């Protein structure tokens, strides 16, 4: 990599991305001031798909609106100066030997990706995050690379204990420094981890065929920015290759395959300017729109792309009732439809979730819910005083709520399974669920019932029950249920997610009256 | 005194003497429970410890001490779900003053460990203290231990508790849905690993098993404020009663028995206390416990 302003900017933003990524974790404070969501909030693809699907505006995406304006004026500079995935590609591409470009990717392929995404958004299916470059990078990091790093470090640390025992303590300060600042706190294994990494690696592997292959031929964000960038006021002179030189063809990472600079593909890295052996290249302001290519892709691509979106949006909606009943969304999400319109599937909520409650849906939420976050209470529960997922969601699909309000938001409702729950099934005491229920008035309570034990002897057992009115579905009951076979209590999704009342109509009796 | 009366008296004395001596010894063995009251929590903690003979009685120079508070819940100090940070700090300071080489403070939390350490106020109260480790539980340090109890034959216990020279049990007094109260005997669960919910099916026997196997040198019950309902984690300030008391004893059963009275209950109301008493782990009969104001 040469040390040009664009390269320095790329490295700075990649470093920023990684720092924010590591920062997206509970580090002893209830608030995360700067999270990696910043990158999505400047992402015009996220903004346009949000506008089309939610059909409303959120100030969270103001930076993306500014980026759109900047692109209209300056061109597709995001790809050459900011995009962390583009930077990763630039960093590795010189180590990958090139064969010939894939012809099939040329031309309209990028529109066949972008247009269905946008038109599906119009039909309430917001899939843009699936192919958004920042989301692809983030999911690869969140679901595989970061946990891998954490597990490796942790396994090593455990191995040291087996080796040294108590004497390992002398090394603890060094390990704690890494653990507290770099590693994920929990060792979470995610579904789709391998898939996410394979997608990321596939994008990188495309470099085998030509530089910035993903960016110039596939990336929907890049395509969108390129289309906006064609209105930019900067025009390169000369427009094409010089008859006596042609160095631009090798210098340019994204264009010149047709012998001229495609304005929609130019990422403004300015390598051609700094590398021109004759000093001829310049980027100058000009209102001349000649050479920018056609404004719209061919009509059949436009119409086909729109139809593709419709075809995507409707048939992917099917979900079985079993899936629906366990589609538990993060706290504050009151409507499944509104959530799907806004969720970018970026994975940040799942990264930040304190108790590993959130996982990407593989099949559980139907095809349309692929990669959206699900609460899986048997694996982790929603911590009562925690509001982190709402803080890092870039689009507000998970609303950012004050803790007092978040505590009352309903994820689902807990239901006992009397065939498994010990006091019912085996007539013995347990009520671990009641103990852990965080609602101060206790949404799980118990009553003393005289039962005939399985040994035939009459005895008193505490039988638990759920006060549905004040259950917020946090899932800690299902999480801590000590049964190994199947939890004796489970949380199910409900349609009416009106927040639980602050003053329950049925105030609990004080077991120790004054 | 003539010979007859002398013989009578000496005969009677020789008959009664063993009983008298036994009585006198019993008075010596009567477990001591110190109760300190006041609004200055560090001060009453120290007074309670001093009434038990001072920390030097338990901690020798160079010892590694574990101070085990209850900090299992993501609740702030005033909600009485965790041991008061000032009480914990005072105990730790006393240990250091007695010459402890290292004081370790930890609990196997129910909520997210980081949040519990922060929100309980304990991590912050100990911040910057030399030779004090307020550390997270590391799962690899749980070790399967033969307990040979009535309910638990073996269980995973935390090695840092097992290897410490001195273990000081610092629970908070609070209500508990299953065991009615959670006090010193139940606070032992913080060094237990594995599927802890499993022992709920026979909680009193299981806790007697573990307490019989692993004993604390000193129990200091934080009753500066107690949680009277919706325990063990509460969350409603209306369930909290401020008592400004700290209780100390070397007999965990006696300490628990006395603390029970703060809730208006009798020791016999608490199955865990009864099970531990029957196992010979301490005294629960209030008439046989010497309570001193410290």
Spatial distance between the Cα atoms of A365 and A361, rounded to a whole number of angstroms: 6
Is the pLDDT at A514 greater than 50? The verdict is no
Report the pLDDT value the prediction gives residue A186, as an integer from 0 to 100: 84
A415: left (phi over 0), alpha (psi -120 to 50) or beta: beta
Q: First vs last Cα of chain A: how many Å apart?
A: 75
Cα separation, B145 vs B188, in Å, equals 14
Asked if A440 and B236 count as a contact pair (C-beta separation under 8 A), the reply is yes
Strand-pairing partners, residue B220, are B248
**Subunit contact B200:A429, Cβ cutoff 8 A:** yes
In the structure encoding, which two tokens stand for residue A119, read together?
């038109």
How far is it, in rounded angstroms, from Cα A430 to Cα A463?
A: 9
Q: Which single residue is written with the structure tokens 């086909």?
A: A304
Contact B178 A434 (CB under 8 A): yes
A214-252 confidence digits (pLDDT tens) = 999 999 999 999 999 988 888 888 888 888 888 888 889
More confident residue, A416 or A124: A416
Selecting from B114, B200, B203 the residue whose C-beta is nearest the C-beta of A26 gives B114
Question: Is B239 an interface residue toward A (CB < 8 Å)?
Answer: yes
Which residues touch A448 (CB under 8 Å, ≥6 apart)?
A460, A461, A462, A463
Residues contacting residue A476 through CB under 8 Å, at least 6 positions apart:
A377, A381, A382, A384, A433, A436, A437, A438
Interface residue B178 vs chain A (CB under 8 A): yes
pLDDT at A278: 87
pLDDT digits (tens, 9 = 90+) for B11-20: 666 666 655 5
Residue B233 above 50 pLDDT?
A: yes
The model's confidence at residue B26, banded by pLDDT at 50, 70 and 90, is low
- B104 vs B96: CA distance, rounded Å: 11
Tell me whether B163 touches chain A (CB under 8 Å).
yes
Question: What confidence tens digit (pLDDT) does each residue in A377-419 have?
Answer: 999 999 999 999 999 999 999 999 999 999 999 999 999 999 9
Look at residue B65 in the predicted model and tell me its pLDDT. 97
Per residue in A312-331, pLDDT (tens digit) is 888 888 899 999 999 999 99
> Cβ contact (<8 Å) for A385 and B195?
no
| Confidence at residue A246, expressed as pLDDT on a 0 to 100 scale | 84
Q: Which of B102, B111, B239 to mutate to test the interface with A (most CBs of A within 10 A)?
A: B111
pLDDT exceeds 90 at position B28: no
Judge whether residue A200 has pLDDT over 90. yes
Chain A partners of B177 at a C-beta cutoff of 8 Å? 431, 434-435, 442, 446, 462
Q: Where are the beta strands (DSSP E) in A264-393?
A: 282-285, 358-360, 373-375
For residue A439, which residues of chain B lie inside 8 Å, CB to CB? 235
Asked if A172 contacts A213 with a C-beta cutoff of 8 angstroms, the reply is: no
The structure tokens 């100990």 sit at: B126
C-beta separation of B112 from A383 below 8 A: yes
Name chain A contacts of B152, Cβ cutoff 8 Å: none
For residue range B139-148, list pLDDT tens digits in order.
999 999 999 9
Q: What is the DSSP letter of B192?
A: B
Selecting from A161, A430, A440 the residue whose C-beta is nearest the C-beta of B201 gives: A430
| Percentage of the residues of chain A whose pLDDT score is greater than 70 | 96
> Sorting pLDDT into bands at 50, 70 and 90, what band is A106?
confident
**Rounded distance between C-alpha atoms, residue A505 and residue B33, angstroms:** 43
Q: Which of B129, B73, B75 has the alpha carbon at shortest distance from B102?
A: B129
Q: Which of A28, A185, A482 sits opposite B198 (nearest CB)?
A: A482
Token pair in block for residue A498: 């009106």
User: Rounded distance, CA A161 to CA A373, Å?
Assistant: 36
- Which band of pLDDT confidence, cut at 50, 70 and 90, is reported for residue A511? very low
- Residues B198-213: tens digit of each pLDDT: 999 899 999 999 999 9
Average pLDDT of the residues in B242-250:
97
Question: What pTM did the predictor assign?
Answer: 0.90
Per-residue pLDDT reduced to its tens digit, A12-58: 999 999 999 998 999 888 998 777 889 999 999 999 999 999 999 99
The confidence score (pLDDT) of residue A512 equals: 39
Nearest-CA distance B222 → chain A (Å): 19
Cβ atoms of B276 and B185 within 8 Å: the answer is yes
**What is the average per-residue pLDDT within A199-205?**
96
Give the residue on B whose Cα is nearest the Cα of A478: B197
Mutate to test the interface with B, among A440, A480, A488 (most CBs of B within 10 A): A440
Tokens of B284: 């629960």
> Residue B177 — left, alpha, or beta (φ > 0 → left; ψ -120 to 50 → alpha)?
alpha
Report CB contact under 8 Å: B236, A480. Answer: no
Whether the predicted pLDDT of A79 surpasses 50: yes
Angle (CA) B43-B45-B50 rounded to 5° is 95
Within 8 A of A462 by CB-CB distance, chain B residues are 177-178
Confidence of residue A130 (pLDDT cuts 50, 70, 90): very high
Residue position matching structure tokens 């310049």: A282
User: What pLDDT score was predicted for residue A448?
Assistant: 93
**From the DSSP assignment, how many helices (H) and strands (E) are in chain A?**
25, 8
Residues ≥6 apart with Cβ < 8 Å to A274: A2, A4
Mutate: best of B70, B101, B103, B112, partner A, most A CBs <10 A: B112
What residues in A contact B178, CB-CB < 8 Å? 429-431, 434-435, 462
Q: Determine the pLDDT at residue B5.
A: 72
Domain ranges in chain B are 1-30, 32-293
Q: Residue B192 and residue B188: Cα distance in Å, rounded? A: 7
Minimum-distance CB partner of B234 among A26, A440, A510: A440
How many residues are given for chain A? Answer: 514
- State in words which class domain B32-293 has: alpha beta
Least confident stretch, A142-151, A486-495, B25-34, B147-156: B25-34
Q: Which residues contact B118 (CB under 8 A, 6 or more apart)?
A: A28, B124
B111 contact A CB<8A: yes
Reading the block at residue A476, the tokens are: 């800690």
CA–CA dist A80, B152 (Å, integer): 64
Q: CB distance from B101 to chain A under 8 Å?
A: no
- Polymer length in residues for chain B: 294
Q: Which domains does chain A have, with CATH numbers?
A: 317-406 (3.30.70), 413-492 (3.30.70)
* The pLDDT of residue A513: 39
d(CA A248, CA A260): 9
**Nearest-by-Cβ selection for B114 from A28, A432, A446:** A28
φ, ψ dihedrals at B6, nearest 5° = -60, -45
Are the beta carbons of B230 and A441 separated by less than 8 Å? Answer: yes
Q: Do A436 and B265 touch (CB under 8 A)?
A: no
B70/A264 Cα distance (integer angstroms): 63
pLDDT reported for residue B24: 54
**Across the interface, do A484 and B195 touch by the CB < 8 Å criterion?**
yes
For residue A238, cis peptide bond before it (omega within 30 degrees of 0) = yes
Residues in chain B closer than 8 A to A432 (CB atoms): 197, 200
Q: A482 vs B177: CB contact, 8 Å cut-off? A: no
**How confident is residue B27, by pLDDT bands cut at 50, 70 and 90?**
low
Cα–Cα nearest to A146, from A175, A184, A181: A184
CA-based angle A202:A366:A115, to the nearest 5? 55
């Amino acid at each position: 990599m040469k040390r040009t302003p664009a390269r320095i900017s790329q490295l700075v933003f990649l470093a920023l991305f990684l720092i924010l990524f590591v920062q997206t974790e509970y580090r002893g404070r209830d608030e995360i001031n700067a999270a990696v969501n910043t990158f999505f909030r400047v992402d015009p693809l996220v903004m346009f798909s949000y506008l089309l699907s939610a059909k409303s505006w959120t100030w969270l995406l103001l930076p993306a609106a500014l980026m759109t304006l900047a692109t209209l004026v300056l061109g597709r500079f995001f790809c050459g100066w900011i995009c962390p995935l583009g930077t990763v590609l630039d960093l590795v591409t010189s180590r990958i030997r090139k064969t010939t470009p894939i012809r099939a990717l040329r031309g309209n392929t990028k529109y066949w990706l972008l247009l269905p995404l946008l038109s599906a958004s119009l039909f309430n299916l917001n899939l843009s995050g699936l192919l958004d470059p920042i989301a692809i990078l983030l999911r690869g990091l969140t679901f595989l690379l970061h946990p891998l790093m954490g597990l490796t470090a942790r396994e090593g640390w455990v191995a040291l204990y087996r080796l040294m025992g108590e004497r390992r303590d002398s090394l603890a300060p060094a390990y704690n420094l890494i653990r507290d600042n770099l590693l994920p706190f929990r060792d979470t294994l995610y579904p789709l981890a391998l898939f996410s990494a394979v997608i990321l690696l596939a994008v990188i592997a495309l470099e085998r065929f030509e530089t910035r292959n993903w960016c110039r031929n596939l990336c929907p964000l890049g395509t969108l920015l390129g289309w906006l960038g064609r209105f930019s006021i900067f025009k390169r002179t000369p427009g094409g290759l010089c008859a006596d030189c042609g160095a631009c063809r090798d210098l340019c990472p994204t264009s010149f395959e047709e012998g001229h600079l495609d304005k929609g593909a130019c990422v403004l890295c300015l390598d051609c300017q700094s590398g021109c052996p004759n000093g001829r290249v310049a980027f100058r302001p000009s209102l001349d729109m000649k050479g920018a290519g056609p404004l719209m892709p061919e009509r059949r691509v436009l119409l086909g792309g729109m139809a593709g979106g419709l075809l995507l949006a409707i048939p992917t909606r099917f979900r079985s009732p079993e899936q629906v009943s366990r589609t538990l969304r993060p706290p504050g999400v009151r409507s499944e439809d509104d959530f799907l319109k806004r969720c970018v599937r970026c994975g940040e909520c799942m990264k930040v979730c304190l108790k590993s409650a959130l996982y990407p849906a593989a099949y559980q939420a139907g095809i349309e819910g692929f990669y959206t976050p699900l609460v899986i209470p048997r694996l982790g529960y929603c911590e009562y005083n925690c509001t982190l997922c709402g803080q890092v969601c870039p689009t507000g699909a998970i609303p950012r709520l004050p803790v007092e309000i978040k505590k009352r938001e309903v994820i689902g409702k807990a239901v006992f399974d009397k065939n498994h729950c010990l006091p019912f099934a085996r007539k013995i005491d347990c009520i671990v669920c009641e103990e852990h229920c965080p609602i101060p008035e206790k949404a799980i309570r118990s009553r003393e019932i005289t039962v005939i034990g399985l040994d035939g002897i009459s005895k008193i057992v505490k039988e638990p029950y759920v006060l549905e009115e004040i259950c917020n579905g946090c899932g800690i009951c299902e999480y801590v249920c000590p049964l190994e076979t199947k939890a004796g209590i489970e949380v199910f999704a409900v349609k009416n997610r009106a927040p639980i009342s602050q003053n329950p109509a049925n105030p609990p009796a004080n077991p120790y009256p004054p | 005194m003539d010979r007859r009366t002398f013989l009578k008296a000496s005969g009677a004395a020789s008959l009664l003497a063993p009983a008298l001596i036994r009585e006198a010894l019993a008075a010596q063995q009567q477990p001591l429970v110190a109760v300190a009251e006041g609004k200055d929590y560090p001060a009453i903690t120290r007074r309670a410890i001093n009434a038990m003979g001072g920390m030097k009685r338990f901690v020798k120079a160079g010892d590694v001490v574990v101070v085990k508070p209850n900090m299992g819940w993501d609740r702030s100090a005033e909600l009485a779900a965790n041991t008061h940070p000032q009480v914990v700090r005072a105990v730790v300071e006393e240990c250091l003053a007695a010459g402890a080489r290292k004081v370790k403070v930890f609990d196997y939390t129910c909520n997210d460990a980081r949040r519990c350490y922060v929100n309980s106020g304990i991590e912050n109260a100990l911040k910057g203290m030399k030779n004090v480790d307020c550390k997270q539980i590391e799962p690899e340090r749980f070790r399967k231990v033969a307990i040979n109890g009535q309910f638990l034959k073996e269980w995973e216990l935390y090695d840092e508790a097992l290897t410490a020279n001195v273990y000081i049990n610092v629970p908070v007094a609070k209500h508990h849905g299953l065991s009615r109260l959670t006090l010193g005997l139940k606070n032992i669960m913080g060094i237990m690993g594995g599927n802890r919910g499993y022992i709920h099916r026979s909680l009193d026997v299981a806790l007697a098993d573990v307490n019989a196997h692993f004993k604390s040198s000193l129990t200091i019950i934080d009753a500066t404020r107690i949680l009277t309902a919706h325990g063990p984690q509460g969350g409603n300030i209306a369930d909290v009663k401020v008592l400004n008391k700290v209780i100390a004893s070397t007999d965990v059963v006696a300490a628990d028995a006395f603390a029970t009275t703060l809730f208006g209950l009798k020791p016999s109301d608490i199955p865990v206390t009864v099970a531990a008493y029957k196992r010979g782990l301490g005294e629960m009969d209030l008439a046989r416990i010497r309570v001193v104001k410290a």
